[in-house]
Amino acid sequence: MNNYWNLTHSQRFASKVEFRNVELRTAADVVQFSFIVQTSISGLDLELCQSYQVNNHPLIRNNYPSLSYSKGFISSEEKCRKVLATSRNLLYALHLDLPKGRDWSLKNSSQPKDLSYYCRIPHIAKICIGDEFYINILYKIIDYACENTHHNLKVLKWFIKFNGLKNFQFRELPDNILNHFIDCVHPGISDTDFVRECFKKLDFKNWVDSSEKPGRVANLLYQVRRLGKKLDDIVFWSYDFPHRCLLHHSFVYVSDVFMFMNEPTFCESFLLGKIYSIR
């Protein structure tokens, strides 16, 4: 399962029985494999057709409605004659009728009394939309709006208050979306509530480690100095965050840090942490 996400879309539906769950992660996946589901993609109803749905039998686990019927039954369907010719040959040769109770049509809505469950795990037990399917579409919309319109601030104000996302999802925003937010918290912005909401919900801490954009870091440092105690976790933003910028492996933030500090200093907790790590 570790290599599952590295497979192409078609390989996820390979003939070898390996996976019970298949995630459709993009719109292209949904369109490509919509023939498998009941109602195609009209309402994104990804339930499997009835013959492939899991049957939660109370006594026997892992049973599925794809049943193999006992040899005591002979299907009377026209298209099954060749397949079941050996079972019916004697009856046909002697011009006999099928024994009562043995003739069972596939179209019959009721199940025969004597049947054997097909207990092998099917290739696909469930098809579902991936957890990030919709949120990735939302990210693309936000990114497109910020790149191609002049309403960045309006779009981001709506997005930061969007209650369709949970707090942890805001903290996992991709860097390209975070860049748009940081560009909007420039020194000229007057909406301090929006700035505070950004510092509260978004994860600028890890962004700093992977980024090398001095101008954007200067925006954050300016807002930290401007808002001061109005920010949540003021100790981190006033001390740890500047030090984190100062010690970036590329040292690209040094000049920005010096702009907003009288002199480079280390907070006590940082020094203690360094001492313990050396020991």
pLDDT for the residue numbered 25: 75
Find the mean pLDDT for residues 113-127.
Answer: 53
The predicted-structure confidence for 65-100, as pLDDT tens digits, reads as follows 444 444 444 444 555 555 555 555 555 555 555 555
Q: How confident is the model at residue 126 (pLDDT cuts 50, 70, 90)?
A: low
pTM: 0.54
205's tokens = 């801490």
The C-alpha angle 91, 92, 97, rounded to 5 degrees, equals 55
pLDDT for the residue numbered 16: 54
Element (H, E) at 245: helix 241-246
Q: Name the residue with tokens 């969007």.
A: 162
pLDDT for the residue numbered 140: 92
CB 128 within 8 A of CB 24: yes
What is the C-alpha separation between 198 and 202, in angstroms, rounded?
6
Percent of the chain with pLDDT over 70: 49
Residue 157 corresponds to which amino acid?
Answer: K
pLDDT for the residue numbered 208: 83
What is the C-alpha separation between 114 and 102, in angstroms, rounded?
10
Q: How confident is the model at residue 216 (pLDDT cuts 50, 70, 90)?
A: confident
pLDDT for the residue numbered 99: 52
